[in-house]
Amino acid sequence: MNTFGHRFRFTTFGESHGKALGCIVDGVPAGLKIDEEFIQSEMDRRKPGSNEFATARKEGDKVEILSGVFEGLSTGTPISMIIFNENQKSSDYSNIKDIFRPGHADFTYFHKYGLRDYRGGGRSSARETAARVAAGAVAKLLLKELNIKVQSGICEINGIEANSFDFENALNSPIFALDKSVEEKQKSAILEAKNSHNSVGGVALINVKNAPIGLGEPLYFKLDSQIANAMMSINAVKAAVKAVEIGDGILASKVLGYDNNDQIRKAGFKTNHSGGILGGISNGDDINVKVYFKATPSIFIEQDSIDIYGNEVTAKLKGRHDPCVAVRGSVVCESMMALVLADMVLLNMSSKMQNLKKVYAK
Ligand SMILES: Cc1cc2nc3c(=O)[nH]c(=O)nc-3n(C[C@H](O)[C@H](O)[C@H](O)COP(=O)(O)O)c2cc1C
């Protein structure tokens, strides 16, 4: 199942060491200005190999638009985009050809499909998320026209928490840190793990400004359930406690009703414990979502595993890996949020007769 969304939907294809990755974005209204430089700038934020906090795999991640755009505008037909892989080193994986990497998807993919693309994990690799970012950039262009802003940053690395959330700082930080005062500590935690051949987890915060009231399609396509679905579909987002927290998240189950409710005044809600969503529908307040990433599974410490024949072996990994996937993962979360909202914005247009009359009534 490689398609996401209803009205604004996208499908991705490709794997880590294949020739290319890409996506087809369907349902984009005709006449949207497709700013290719913006799409590329989004790709550049996620691309690997740009600093010591990311994997050393160097990819240009240049996006080529194959269809659906004419003279800079969307035509209303599927927009397809391709990203060629340039820096695969499949030999890095030859010594673990038959061995399952603990924590990775090797074991489950092998048992489900009965064969193994050992080259970087194949389709289970987060290399696929490059295509999501390309699709997400188109969603962001649509949302921009409606003045809806999606932004993200890192709020926690290895338990070191941000005390303030500055999205401008995140844009200029090599680890997308939201709080400058803890950024150096967070960077050191990543480098310490990397230097000891290990990895660390982290948490991304995604914030949406100016979401209109009414986004979300109860009951089975609620805004919060789709955000959770979108975020949980990203590699390494874990359900150990609750991987995706909307608003106060798990804290909501620990406090009393009076402390959890967002009281209402004419000017708006007095607080935002709900994270901008009530009954599965956006309430007009900021949408705030925290996404929890586990530590990168591929580490360079010897670990116990088994091979595809069931023999007990020692897994010794080589190759290039992110020491903390939350960093680049935060950009993927932002893209998935934009994709969910673009879908919801289009779906919501048919929620009332008065909307239909605006378009069709003579
Ligand atoms: C942006 C991003 C980069 C990632 N890079 C790596 C990596 O370099 N090495 C690795 O083992 N896992 C990496 N992962 C995580 C794995 O893809 C993921 O843990 C694996 O597919 C198993 O799936 P699960 O953790 O969701 O169960 C990355 C994840 C993301 C979101």
Q: Choose one of 89, 112, 125, 334 to mutate for the ligand 1 pocket test, by most ligand atoms within 8 angstroms of C-beta.
A: 125
Distance 296 CA to ligand 1 centre (A): 6
93 has a pLDDT exceeding 80: no
Q: Choose one of 55, 92, 104, 324 to mutate for the ligand 1 pocket test, by most ligand atoms within 8 angstroms of C-beta.
A: 104
Q: Following DSSP, what letter does each residue of 51-115 receive, concatenated? A: STTS-S------EEEEESEETTEE-SSPEEEEEE-----GGGGGGGTTBPPTTSSHHHHHHHHS-
Task: Say if ligand 1 is within 6 A of residue 335 CB.
Answer: no
Report the pLDDT value the prediction gives residue 299, as an integer from 0 to 100.
94
Look at the block and give the residue holding tokens 């064969």.
115
Distance 89 CA to ligand 1 centre (A): 17
| Cα gap 56→50, rounded to integer Å | 8
pLDDT in tens, 46-77: 998 889 999 888 889 999 999 999 999 999 99
239 has a pLDDT exceeding 70: no
Task: Say if ligand 1 is within 6 A of residue 296 CB.
Answer: yes
pTM of the model: 0.93
Least confident of 82-91, 168-177, 259-268: 82-91
Task: Say if ligand 1 is within 6 A of residue 105 CB.
Answer: yes
